[in-house]
Chain A
Amino acid sequence: MEEVKLMKGNEAIAHAAIRNGVDGYFGYPITPQSEILETLMDERPWNTTGMVVLQAESEVAAINMVYGGAGCGKKAMTSSSSPGISLKLEGISYLAGAELPCLIVNVMRGGPGLGTIQPSQADYFQTVKGGGHGDYRLITLAPSSVQEMADFVGLAFDLAFKYRNPAMILTDGIIGQMMEKVVLPPMKPRWTDEEIAEIAPWGTMGKPKGGQPRIITSLELDPAVMEQNNFRFQAKYKQIEENEVRYEEMNTEDADYLFVAFGSSARICQKAIELAREEGIKVGILRPITLWPFPTKRLAELANQVKGMLTVEMNAGQMVEDVRLAVNGKIPVEHYGRMGGMIPSPDEVVIALKEKVIK
């Protein structure tokens, strides 16, 4: 059996990257995610798996290095925190437009602007509603434990390559900085050139003899062709929405009320459930694991069972809009949140449930 280790979420991401045979990590330090780059530098995977770890000169450079690596069919990734992700958005849009798989990790902090370095979830809109320009989508995974930080690196790359689409791990300073028990994924070697040729035949690995040149670009000057490209993207997004929704439910069987929360907020809600149930309030939680695609269908079903929902987010009310769209007016959906790096406490959440939803 694999050894149970105690480590920070950020460290788990770094170790999981090496163990998943990632070819290249390109990053630039920013709190609260710097341990990802630091751990990779400590581990020196270039001596073992041959993985490249590079501190770029800026976030913009880092995401474009990912673009280059991904264009060759390599497993490339970057990580940053909110302000740094804003800088990367142009590159992310290009990656989506060129249909390139990659992993971007956002360990969110309080904003807007340079903001604070404390935990936040205020980049939900930025991540699932665009951020960069154009009609694109990011496969978005929201871990709520250190174990999921480790597990979702492999999952993100699997999904990214399956659909030729960038994937994001959207997390925050709590999950990044906290230590928990974790079992790291088994060691997988990096793909060989032959394997890449099979898995990513579109990769620019040199023009095959007698074959067509492979071109990776998001540019298309003919709008009619660009529209066709967009139709292809949309068909792909629909497929992802049909096949890749992931969520976790707790205490929903007998629930009269429902928390909807992701990441660290979901952990806080679990404690709030313990407190509320001591008082006889039957409340459960739906925790979206994929923020896009969103668990719309399941929320619509639960709207037939519960009397009201409360989204708990470390923002001014972002995911609540998607929950309301899912519920479509059937029951009240309210939001409770803290902003700017402040963290809601479990008893605050119980009070909000009583005041906003139960009344």
Chain B
Amino acid sequence: MTQEIVIAGFGGQGVLSMGKILAYSALMENKEVSWMPSYGPEQRGGTANVTVIVSDKRISSPVLNQFDTAIVLNQPSLDKFESKVKPGGILIYDGYGIHKPPTRTDIQVYRLDAMDIASQADMKKVFNMIILGGYLKLCPIVSIESVMNGLKKTLPERHHKLLPLNEQAILKGMDAIGK
């Protein structure tokens, strides 16, 4: 099994860290993994994206232009990556600020209004975990347990009190996707 994922949005939305958490979770399950960010000046205020590959086999290219799943969090990212989802693949987008929704019919499109959920539930800081939860509901490539273990490993101890909030956010995303 190989999952090739791109996550894209505005710098500051937690795109790179969502990818990192996914990568660490895969590491916890002893899977092969690569995490390749777009790096550079475009990250501040502009769009950022990260390619995460999780596989049972040795990973060949860490850079791709076709993805099993695209998770897009703003209009420029949607414009850029909608066409790059493999036929039959998955596109997850947050409806916030989207004025040109996706049009493809040969892929599975899911709208997950995580931005709205996050503001209503006072979860703005863990917005990206709502998205991650939605994705993991559709593609359970790693268990929530591994995500939590990965978080524990990457978060400094002083932030461990935030772990339950992160878990709630994941569950909220799982619950909301596809509704």
In the complex the two chains form, what is the Cα distance from A118 to B40 in whole Å? 8
Q: Judge whether B63 and A174 touch: CB under 8 Å.
A: yes
Given A179-B23, A347-B66: A267 touches B33 (CB 8 Å cut-off): no
Partner of B63, one of A180, A273, A345: A345
Partner of B64, one of A116, A177, A180, A271: A271
Partner of A178, one of B32, B34, B66: B34
Partner of B60, one of A118, A178, A267, A348: A267
Closest B residue to A8 using CB positions: B35
Q: Judge whether B39 and A343 touch: CB under 8 Å.
A: no
Residues of A within 8 A of B17 (CB): none
Interface residues of B in 24-46 (CB under 8 A from A): 24, 27, 32-37, 39-41
Task: Assess whether A173 is interfacial by the CB under 8 Å rule.
Answer: yes
Q: Judge whether A174 and B24 touch: CB under 8 Å.
A: no
Residues of A within 8 A of B27 (CB): 4, 6, 181
Task: Assess whether A346 is interfacial by the CB under 8 Å rule.
Answer: yes
Interface residues of A in 46-92 (CB under 8 A from B): none
Task: Assess whether A32 is interfacial by the CB under 8 Å rule.
Answer: yes
B42 to chain A, nearest CB (A): 10
Residues of A within 8 A of B143 (CB): none
In the complex the two chains form, what is the Cα distance from A151 to B78 in whole Å? 39
Q: Judge whether A117 and B65 touch: CB under 8 Å.
A: no
Task: Assess whether B62 is interfacial by the CB under 8 Å rule.
Answer: yes
Task: Assess whether B20 is interfacial by the CB under 8 Å rule.
Answer: yes
In the complex the two chains form, what is the Cα distance from A346 to B66 in whole Å? 9
Interface residues of B in 3-28 (CB under 8 A from A): 20, 23-24, 27
Number of interface residues, chain B, beta carbon within 8 A: 21
Residues of A within 8 A of B40 (CB): 31-32, 116-118
Q: Judge whether A32 and B61 touch: CB under 8 Å.
A: no
| Highest count of chain A CB atoms <10 Å: which of B34, B37, B59, B62 | B62
Q: Judge whether A179 and B39 touch: CB under 8 Å.
A: no
Residues of B within 8 A of A268 (CB): 60-61, 63
Q: Judge whether B66 and A267 touch: CB under 8 Å.
A: no
Q: Judge whether A270 and B33 touch: CB under 8 Å.
A: no
Task: Assess whether A264 is interfacial by the CB under 8 Å rule.
Answer: yes
Residues of B within 8 A of A345 (CB): 63-66
Q: Mark B80-122, 1 if CB is under 8 A from A, else 0.
A: 0000000000000000000000000000000000000000000
In the complex the two chains form, what is the Cα distance from A174 to B33 in whole Å? 15
Given A6-B24, A181-B33: A270 touches B61 (CB 8 Å cut-off): yes
In the complex the two chains form, what is the Cα distance from A31 to B43 in whole Å? 14
Given A4-B27, A6-B33, A31-B40: A179 touches B20 (CB 8 Å cut-off): yes
Q: Judge whether B36 and A174 touch: CB under 8 Å.
A: yes
In the complex the two chains form, what is the Cα distance from A174 to B51 in whole Å? 12
B63 to chain A, nearest CB (A): 5
B19 to chain A, nearest CB (A): 9
Residues of B within 8 A of A181 (CB): 27, 32-33
Residues of B within 8 A of A272 (CB): 61
Task: Assess whether A274 is interfacial by the CB under 8 Å rule.
Answer: yes
A206 to chain B, nearest CB (A): 46
B28 to chain A, nearest CB (A): 10
Residues of B within 8 A of A270 (CB): 60-61
A5 to chain B, nearest CB (A): 8
Give A contacts to B, CB under 8 Å: 4, 6, 31-32, 116-118, 173-174, 177-181, 264, 267-274, 343, 345-348
Task: Jot down 22 A-B pairs with beta carbons below 8 A, ordered by A.
Answer: A6-B33, A116-B40, A117-B39, A174-B36, A177-B36, A178-B34, A178-B36, A178-B62, A179-B34, A180-B35, A180-B62, A267-B60, A267-B62, A269-B61, A270-B60, A271-B64, A272-B61, A274-B60, A345-B64, A345-B65, A346-B61, A348-B65
8 closest pairs, A vs B, by CB? A270-B60, A271-B61, A345-B65, A179-B35, A271-B60, A178-B36, A268-B61, A267-B61
Give B contacts to A, CB under 8 Å: 20, 23-24, 27, 32-37, 39-41, 59-66
Given contacts A271-B61, A348-B65, 20 further A-B contacts (CB under 8 A): A6-B33, A6-B35, A32-B39, A117-B40, A177-B36, A179-B23, A180-B35, A181-B33, A264-B62, A264-B63, A267-B61, A267-B62, A269-B61, A270-B60, A271-B64, A274-B60, A343-B63, A345-B63, A345-B65, A347-B66
